Amino acid sequence: MTATRVCFVCLGNICRSPTAEAVMAHRLQFADAGVEVEVESAGTGSWHVGHPPDERAREEASRRGVAMGGTARQFEADDFARFDLVMAMDSDNAAALRALAPDDDARAKVHLLREFDPEADDNLDVPDPYFGGQEGFADVFEMVDRSVLALIGHIATMPR
């Protein structure tokens, strides 16, 4: 079976996208969906390249029993060839990714993560918690967790 390769992308790759990467890796350990998924994260910006995830994001994940590690990296045009799904955390990052995409096939890989959130309303953005308090990180974790669970179900139905 060929693994589905997923990359979660936010602005700096220190809050939202590493949270999504960690939550998805955690959920896949317990998923009975018969899928093989490889997961990474990246940012559209370069400000935090080489830095670990934000301490508040790590604390929220740890509080919920989810391990979070890694270092920030920037998403590059060549990454489109490596991933089947490129999950943007918000519409601004989705637009940046589509602008970076080398062709229509690459652009078609870009989705908003909250397209899969069963509780999402008209706003499909995962808000950036960086300039707020711990409550924002908790809210992001909840949105990401709901979305990732549904995304795993979606991946299980994708043609191989």
SS3 108: coil
Kindly report the length of the chain. Answer: 160
Catalytic member of 79, 90, 117, 128: 128
Q: Tokens at residue 123, please?
A: 């706003």
Catalytic member of 15, 16, 56, 146: 16
In this structure, are residues 10 and 128 in contact, taking their beta carbons and an 8 Å threshold? yes
Residue with tokens 């601004």: 92
Say whether 10 is catalytic. Answer: yes
Catalytic member of 7, 10, 114, 117: 10
Q: Which region, left, alpha or beta, applies to residue 50 given φ > 0 means left and ψ of -120 to 50 means alpha? A: left
Q: Is 51 exposed, middle or buried (0-12, 13-18, 19+ CB in 10 A)?
A: middle
In this structure, are residues 46 and 5 in contact, taking their beta carbons and an 8 Å threshold? no
Please give the helix or strand (H or E) that residue 144 lies within, else none: helix 134-157
* Residues classed as catalytic: 10, 16, 128
